[in-house]
A and B are shown apart, each in its own frame.
Chain A
């Protein structure tokens, strides 16, 4: 098992093994991040040769002359806050329940996880149909229960559209949090829980003093992943409302896309992307620091 001389240095071998992945990743993932920063200081329609450097003009315009940006910003904040509360809490409750030795818990877990597999664009299409004001599921149920007063134009009313969309998003994402929590619960020492019970703790005290501290790592991971995936919300908005009615469901990711790819204002679209990128980094960097410290502590 001798290898040719050329490949003998470990460094050369490492370079050859890493080469393809690093090359494609640097070109198609890292370079676009750098490019989007450059583009945000330029004026460009995306195709013509003429790309002019205009400094912070794009940012100035976004902040002062673009009312849609502020609507998108506000909706993104509301969306993110809801996303770090509802799906993780529901997911934790389901995981706690399904961690007990219950009849049929394996198929139950599978059912809760199923929507995670569905393409977000299909979720958007499904729910748009269920929200149909005339023949959709929700208004039909309300009618049959005699609660006609609650009938809504779920996606057509700008007061409720964002929240209707969030219900669909929650339906899709709860299973994801649930699975992470189930994995985290496997690390909770059963005998500690039992010991706490014997020492006279009730269920709630046992949960607060034993289970919850042991789940802290998982909780942090779930919250970070939920934040990131909420900032990514694009398919569901594009497919469900397109940002409407009256920009009431517009969000930063979609507005950046619209500016670049539909209005062909690449500079402004990129500036919105950079703002979204900064928000993401504000979440990621503390998280990476934290996980690095944890890694070092565990060594």
Chain B
């Protein structure tokens, strides 16, 4: 049956009849894509104009001269050196640390037989992947405040770690469980500990998945707003999203600089996404939609 179909395909291929429906489809998809990028174009154009120019020219008129000084101005006014540094430090610590603890836990849950406790722990962890943490902002504040960690890196990092664990364990558990038993059994029989098996065998083979999760987690940590709003109340500790929010409140009439601030906030995540795009999609879909 399949051979008939593939031979039919082969027979058709050289003719290359253009399906009119596909051409219409292509035009529609490109037009909608233009709408999808329009906001970005609009924001970048505005960021490069002067305020009088914004008010007198059309939104889609390119800037007469590129006013890069808007970016410097917004950087200065929006305290970007502080918020950028805070976002950078928090992301740099949280993301790798979160991956390591999630990978260790996922390995133990997938490869060490713990009977019913193991099953229970797995459900216990996965449950958290579904709960919207916005529901718990008040008790998280209470808890972190009780520990004296409000306005500190450890406070916000611990909270972020907790909410990264479920999704990452979910994905990595699925991956580790699919690894054939023979690969680890020989090492275990030779007397290697699970720590060794995890570090020497499972970590290396899971690098592509870890890379995907790293990118996903970078973006979501970089973009996080709600938890930071509650746990970081001192402007000196603010992250980029909090800085942008405050910028919008204070200088909302300075359209040029406001748009420069948006561009600077969004740019790092987009850059990371563009470089690692392949990993991104595989990370998002591995485990979530399997056949």
Contacts and interface: CB of A to CB of B under 8 A. Distances in A.
A95 B130 CA distance: 25
Interface string B33-47: 100111110110010
B135 A280 contact: yes
Q: In the complex, which of the residues B30, B128, B131 has the most CB atoms of chain A within 10 Å of its own CB atom?
A: B131
A129 B162 contact: no
Contact of A261 (B109, B162, B230, B261): B230
B68 interface: no
A118 B284 CA distance: 16
Interface string A273-287: 100110010001001
B37 A117 contact: no
Contacts of A103: 26
A33 B131 contact: yes
A183 interface: yes
A147 interface: no
A122 B241 contact: yes
Interface stretch (A55-63, A67-75, A133-141): A133-141
Given A13-B193, A17-B195, A239-B248, A46 B135 contact: no
B101 A20 contact: yes
Interface in A213-271: 217-218, 221, 228, 231-232, 234-235, 238-239, 253, 256-257, 260-261, 266, 269-270
A66 interface: no
Contact of A28 (B108, B158, B277): B158
A205 interface: no
A100 B136 contact: no
B190 to A, nearest CB: 6
Chain A, interface SS category: helix
> Chain B: interface residue count, which band?
35 or more
Contacts of A260: 137-138, 141
Contacts of A184: 289
B5 A137 contact: no
B102 interface: yes
B237 interface: no
A35 interface: yes
Contacts of B244: 119, 121-122, 125
A120 B40 contact: no
B264 to A, nearest CB: 10
A64 interface: no
A290 interface: no
Interface of A: 1-3, 7-8, 10-11, 13-14, 16-18, 20-22, 24-25, 27-33, 35-36, 39, 46-47, 94, 97-98, 100, 102-104, 108, 110-115, 117-122, 125-130, 132, 134-137, 140-141, 144, 171, 176, 179-180, 182-184, 187, 191, 194-195, 198, 203, 217-218, 221, 228, 231-232, 234-235, 238-239, 253, 256-257, 260-261, 266, 269-270, 273, 276-277, 280, 284, 287-288
What 3 pairs across the A-B complex have the smallest Cβ distances? A28-B162, A119-B223, A3-B193
Interface of B: 1-2, 5, 8-9, 21-22, 25-26, 28-30, 32-33, 36-40, 42-43, 46, 54-55, 58-59, 101-102, 104-105, 107-109, 112-114, 118, 121, 123-128, 130-143, 145, 158-159, 161-163, 165-166, 169, 187, 190-196, 198, 219, 222-223, 225-226, 229-230, 240-241, 244-245, 248, 255, 258-259, 261-262, 265-266, 269-270, 273-274, 277, 281, 284-285, 288-289, 291
19 contacts: A11-B114, A24-B158, A27-B143, A29-B165, A39-B139, A102-B26, A117-B269, A129-B46, A137-B59, A198-B8, A232-B134, A256-B134, A257-B138, A257-B230, A261-B137, A269-B138, A273-B138, A280-B130, A284-B127
